[in-house]
Structures are given as structure tokens and as C-alpha cells.
Structure 1
């Protein structure tokens, strides 16, 4: 088979477009850490509140509906799975469906922080072909009378949409933390 200049140009164009598509649309992993100090509150009380997904829905306004699919364990190690539907804060007409697996680890004498770990698979526009994964570790640590709340989120996103995904994750963290502060500051009064 003899390659003509036309075939070589076409092959080079296909290779260049393939490389460009791979570079722009490949899933990359990103990390975001968000923390806040909530005054005059117990780490246990805050951790238990956030661990209950019905309360998380109050904290995160993007969650539209949810249902718990599985639950087991005890107070020392509680686990549950949940399916939920949410919208994108920047494009409210786009909804996602997600499956989350959550582990709740209350503080002990050897581990002073209350921890909520979760793994999520989020599929955009209700399609199981456009899914991304994320992990969250939410810690509540008692600091005298106050509680330091820290959430570390690892999330996947196509490289071309990195800024959009970062804003979406940041928006949700800000809403969760601000609403948590508002709810618990109101409870003090």
C-alpha cells in the first residue's frame, strides 16, 4: 500500500485530533480542602447531624431527592448507601443521579475526630455513560468549646471542564458549611 501526501495529511489530522480530544476530555483527579470553625458546638453533635443524609439535604440546596438503599452497622461504625438526584448550581437545568456509599466513624479515645467518609459515582444528565467518581473525608475535631470541620474532596473531571467542576464542588462546600453554621448558631440563641 502506497501512502500519498493526501493520505499522510489525513492520517496526521486524525492523530492530532485524537491527541487533542484525549488531552481535553480525559478524566483528571482534583483535590479541594475546605474548613471552618463552628463556635460553641460539639464535634459529636455536628458529625451526627451531617452523617444523617436527610440533614445533608438541608445543608446542600442542590440535592433534589434521595432514598437510602442500604444501611447497616452500629454506633461505632455505621454504613449506608444512598441514591440521590441533584442539579448543577451553575446550570440548574442539568440534573445528575448519584450513588453514594457512606461510612460514619464517631470519635473514640484512640481517634479523637468524628469522621464521615463517602464514595460517590455521579452520572450527568441521568446517563450512565457520563459518570465521574469522587471521595470525601469530612472530619469534626473538638477545639475547646468549638469544632473544626474539615472536608477533603477528591473528584474526577474532564480536563477541559476543570474550572467548572472546581466551582461546582466549591459552591456545594460553601453552602454546606454556611448552612451548618447558620443552623447551629440559631440553635444557640
Structure 2
């Protein structure tokens, strides 16, 4: 009877481990969206600061390093792709790799109202690319 109880425990542990691995491998990509407005500020100054990924480490200290892998455009329509590594804010021992595509635009001079926009799409991957979030 003792051996039978041990087999049931093994079966439950193996089944639980299989379920966790199955969820991680079949979960696909998750999407997350955020936007923000900074009150009482000059739009062009905020736009210039946030558009520069070199300053991103100030805004997000969990970023460890980054590499710009593509860069094209001009002052009013600039696009770049960056790969970066960061630590999770709630669990700093865990690293993740990410790739982001940035589109940085502003209206041409003389166009009113002036519009400043930064759009970025990030793909963050864990477990050597097995589990990714978009």
C-alpha cells in the first residue's frame, strides 16, 4: 500500500510538471498596450527626450544594454529598431531579451497644430525565445 501511494505522488508531480511545460510552450504571444500624457510640459522637449533610446535607461533603469540594429529616415519621420536586454522589475534575477521597432514622427514646420508622436512595438522573449510577449 505504501508503494501505491508513492506512485500516485509521482503521477501527480509528473502531471503538474507536464501541464506547466505545456502552458509555457503553447501559450503563444501576449499583447500589452500603454500610453501616457505628461502634463505641464512642452511637447517637443518630451518628444525629443523619449525618442532617443540612449535616454531610455534613465526612464527605465532595468535596461542593461541595447544595440540599434536599423536606423532610417529624417527629422520628421525617423524609424529605428533596437535590441535590448533588461531585468524584470519585480524579479531582478530574471533577464529577458527584447526587440523594438520605433516610429518617431512630427508634423512639418508651419503645420498647425503641431503633432509629435512616438510609436513603438516591443517583442519581449523569455526562456531563450520560447515564450514571447508583444
What residue ranges of structure 2 are gaps of 5+ in the alignment? 1-18
Tell me the residue number matched to 1:72.
Answer: 72
Q: 2:95 maps to what in 1? A: 95
Q: Give distance in 1, aligned partners of 2:44 and 2:99.
A: 26
Length, aligned pairs only: 111
Matching residue within 34, 37, 60 for 1:35: 37
SS in 1 for 2:55: helix
Q: 1:31, CA displacement in angstroms? A: 4.3
Structure ranking higher in strand proportion: 1
Pair 1:57–1:118, CA change in 2 (3 A): same
* Structure 1 gap ranges (5+): 1-17, 134-189
Of structures 1 and 2, the one scoring higher in RCO (CA 8 A, sep 6+) is 1
Alignment match, 2:58: 58
Task: List, as ranges, runs of 4+ consecutive aligned residues in structure 1 with deviation greater than 6 Å.
Answer: none
How well do the aligned residues superpose, as a CA RMSD in angstroms?
A: 2.6
Q: Determine which structure has more spread, i.e. the larger CA radius of gyration.
A: 2
Q: For 1:111 and 1:117, how far apart are their aligned partners in 2?
A: 19
- Residues 140-159 of structure 1 mapped to structure 2, 5 A cutoff: none
Q: 1:36 to 1:66 in 2, by over 3 A?
A: same
- Matched with 2:107 is 107
Measured against aligned partners, the alpha-carbon deviations of 1:3-55 in whole angstroms (never above 9, x if no partner) come to xxxxxxxxxxxxxxx8xx77xx7455454444331x3x321111011000001
- C-alpha offsets along residues 161-186 of structure 1, whole Å, 9 cap, x if unaligned? xxxxxxxxxxxxxxxxxxxxxxxxxx
CA contact (8 A) 2:99 2:124 kept: yes
What's the TM-score, normalizing by structure 2? 0.70
Aligned twin of 2:5: none
Cα deviation for residue 118 of structure 1 reads 0.8
